[in-house]
């Protein structure tokens, strides 16, 4: 029997698409065209951890629903299969296997009362619903390009279209997608949308504040709470080195940012389109030129576009 390897790769128009542009237009342009290498060690380890968790929780979900869990790879086998497809993972596999084994030894049972979904794809479109403008969750995530997409409630959304004459996306919907690691229901019936982070350093609850302003959680909260009303957004922080700590804080609310997020997303989508129209070469895009922005938290050697910014296109990768 051929077992299923769950795809943990980002969605096409997810936060990973927009995030580099919010950080720096130059980085965004180079990233979109694959001109920079963002395969940092923490990201590689994170993908291995997500692979293990996805298969662990999916097999538990199958058990809860009376389905055959062996349709999916066992978590450790899935990590090996992931490395076969992504060889950069092999040097990190022993460490992440140890991390996973220690996690399961501490948490051997399925979380909550039931697992609602694993690697759930949700999608949203900017537009007007019942006279209110905002970012709306779609009933069908594949409906992002529809001229009359339907909200999860079944009602029709009037989408806001990209206004950039001459650009290939002119007149198309402005969308964002998100793949949620895990959705669970606890013993009281409360729903939680959970995002796993695999970190070599501190995983105490105070690190939750570092994630509060990440746009990925604005997308999770705005769209996720339309799909699962009342759901809370949480983090599972898993340490990938001794003493292998785990923390499970909630992501702090950011109501003002969330209120403005649809506007900022619309603005950013237009900025990207106008840059692409004005500068066919992304090496000409504006640079952030800020020592903090140019040194990311997961980047030992700084932003992957740093040398391209300093020395030109020949140092893009």
- Asked if residue 11 has a cis previous peptide bond (ω within 30° of 0), the answer is no
Same domain for 146 and 283? yes
pLDDT tens-digit readout, 225-241: 999 999 999 999 999 99
> What was the pLDDT predicted at 316?
64
Q: Are residues 101 and 173 in the same domain?
A: no
Task: For residues 91 and 124, state if they share a domain.
Answer: no
Residue 260 has pLDDT above 60, yes or no: yes
pLDDT digits (tens, 9 = 90+) for 178-233: 999 999 999 999 999 999 999 988 787 777 888 889 999 999 999 999 999 999 99
pLDDT in tens, 291-317: 889 987 767 778 989 999 999 987 665
As a whole number, mean pLDDT of residues 87-107 equals 98
312 in the same domain as 175: yes
Q: Are residues 248 and 221 in the same domain?
A: yes
User: Is 195 in the same domain as 250?
Assistant: yes
Classify burial at 271, counting beta carbons within 10 Å of its beta carbon; exposed 0-12, middle 13-18, buried 19 or more. middle
Full residue range of the structural domain in which residue 31 is found: 9-37+116-317
Contact assessment for residue 179 and residue 10, using Cβ atoms and an 8 Å cutoff: yes
């Amino acid at each position: 029997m051929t077992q299923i390897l769950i795809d943990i790769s980002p969605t096409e128009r997810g936060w990973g698409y927009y995030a580099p542009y919010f950080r720096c237009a130059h980085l965004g342009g180079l990233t979109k065209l694959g001109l920079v290498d963002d395969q940092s060690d923490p990201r590689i380890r994170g993908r291995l951890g997500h692979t293990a968790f996805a298969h662990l929780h999916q097999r538990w979900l199958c058990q809860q629903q009376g389905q055959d869990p062996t349709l999916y790879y066992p978590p450790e086998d899935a990590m090996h299969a992931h490395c076969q497809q992504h060889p950069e993972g092999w040097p990190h596999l022993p460490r992440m296997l140890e991390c996973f084994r220690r996690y399961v030894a501490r948490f051997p049972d399925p979380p909550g009362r039931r697992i609602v979904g694993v690697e759930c794809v949700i999608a949203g479109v900017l537009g007007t619903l019942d006279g209110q403008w905002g970012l709306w969750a779609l009933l069908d995530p594949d409906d992002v390009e529809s001229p009359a997409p339907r909200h999860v409630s079944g009602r029709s959304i009037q989408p806001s279209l990209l206004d950039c004459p001459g650009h290939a996306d002119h007149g198309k919907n402005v969308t964002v997608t998100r793949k949620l690691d895990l959705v669970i229901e606890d013993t009281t019936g409360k729903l939680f949308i959970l995002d796993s982070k695999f970190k070599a350093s501190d995983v105490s609850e105070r690190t939750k504040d570092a994630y509060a302003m990440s746009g990925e959680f604005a997308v999770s909260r705005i769209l996720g709470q339309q799909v699962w009303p009342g759901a809370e957004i949480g983090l599972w922080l898993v340490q990938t080195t001794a003493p292998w700590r785990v923390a499970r804080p909630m992501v702090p609310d950011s109501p003002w940012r969330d209120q403005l997020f649809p506007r900022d997303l619309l603005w950013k989508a237009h900025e990207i389109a106008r840059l692409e129209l004005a500068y066919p070469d992304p090496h000409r895009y504006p640079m952030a030129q800020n020592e903090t922005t140019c040194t990311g938290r997961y980047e030992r050697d700084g932003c992957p576009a740093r040398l391209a910014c300093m020395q030109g296109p020949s140092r893009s990768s």
